[in-house]
Amino acid sequence: MDKKKVPKESGEISRRKFLKDAGLIVGGAAIGSTVLLAACGEGEVTTETVTTTVTETASKFICPYDDQEFTSLSALQSHVESAHPAEVVEVPKAMGYIAQVSIDESVCAGCGTCELVCAAVHEGSVGPSLRRIWLEKEPVELIHHLATCQQCDYPECYFICPLKDEVLCIDSVTGARYINNPDKCLGVGCKFCIDACPFDPPRINFDSENNVVVKCDLCKDRADGPACIEFCNAIALTLQERR
């Protein structure tokens, strides 16, 4: 078990207790699939088996319903769709994701304004734990990488969330995978979504001062759209459609 999944200190609810008390069915998941796998059986155990296996040994994919092994994600997907059709749920795609354009088109100037305006429009405060986009800046190199939430077609963060559709939600208009009801997230504080994110750095941040997760929502409630794109002086960010 990942260290972060260990039950918190006294006073905080453990995941196992929460799952039992809430009586929820927990989603198992395979990275990057286009379907939702609603797991059955032991809930937590199944989920951990799948996520651990899939994320840590990318060459081996295990079906959460019958333990068959596959060498590719697409093979596992095909298997689940044919052998376990009742477990398959369609997830709406996001309208796109924030992407850094090719350096052949425009070079990120490294100013970090994207991180700052992101935090400012969402939180009214700024800081590394409030950003939903990451300027990956080495101290000497002048070419920088921007790490962004990919709004995955198959969103691990969404499936793993114990309060799926209450905290980690999918916006009906933009398809953005976003955090809703931060107060409820605060009550759990599990950070499963961060652990489940397949990227490094995880594209979900943890606001350590308020003990909630924060995540790119494509600025779905903002009239002018994503602030990071609007304020990028170098036009180095774009809303990339998923093909």
Partner 1 sequence: MTVSELYGWTGKILRVDLSSGIISTVDTEKYVPKFVGCMGVAYRIAWEEIPRGTGAFDPENRLMIMNGPLAGTPSPTSGRTQVSGVAPQCSPEMYSWSGVGGWFGAGLKYAGFDGIIIQGKAPSPCYLWVHDGEVEIKDAGVMWGMGTLDTQRELYRKHGKYVHSLVIGPAGENLSRIAVLLTDNTNAAGQGGFGGVAGSKNLKAICVKGTKSVKIAHPDELLRIRKEISGVPSKNPVVVGAALYADGITVEEALPYQQFNVACAHACHTRCMAAHKDAPSATRPGLVTQSVTCIGPFVFGWPQSGGWGGLEPVKWPLWSGNFERGIESSELINQYGLNEWEILGGMVPWLVMAAHEGVLTEEQFGGPINPSDVEWWPKFLHMLAYREGFGDLLAEGTTRAINTLGKAKYGETIYTGERTREGVPRPTPISIQEAWGYSAHWSGRGIHSTLPYPDWLLRALTWMTSTRDSNDSTHHSAKSEWMEEFKQDPYRGDRGPWMAIWDEHKSELKNALTLCDWAFPRPSRSSIEAELFSVVTGIDTTEEEMDKAGERLKNQVRALIMRNYDRTREQEVNEIMPFFRIPDHSSIPIDEAEWSIMVDHYYEQRGWDKATGWPTRAKLEELDLKDVADELASIGKLP
List residues near partner 1 by CB under 8 A. 103-113, 116-117, 119-121, 123-130, 136-143, 201, 207-209, 227, 231-236
Our CB check for partner 1 shows the closer of 122 and 177 to be 122
CB atoms within 10 A of CB 139: 4
Cβ contact 63:202 at 8 Å: no
Q: Which H helix or E strand runs over 62?
A: strand 61-62
By CB atoms closer than 10 A (0-12, 13-18, 19+), residue 242 is middle
CB of 54 to partner 1, least distance (A): 25
Q: Comparing C-alpha atoms, which of 190, 200, 182 is closest to residue 122?
A: 182
Q: Which is nearer to partner 1, 73 or 111 (CB)?
A: 111
Output the smallest distance, CB 205 to partner 1, in A: 9
How far does CA 110 lie from the centroid of its chain? 24
Q: Of the two residues 73 and 120, which places its CB atom closer to partner 1 in the complex?
A: 120
In the complex, the smallest distance separating the C-beta of residue 107 from partner 1, rounded to whole angstroms, is: 5
Minimum separation from the CB atom of position 178 to partner 1 (A): 19
In degrees and rounded to multiples of 5, residue 96 shows phi and psi of 165, -170
- The residue among 32 and 112 lying less far from partner 1, judged by its C-beta, is 112
Tokens at 220, concatenated: 């779905």
Rounded least distance, CB 45 to partner 1, Å? 33
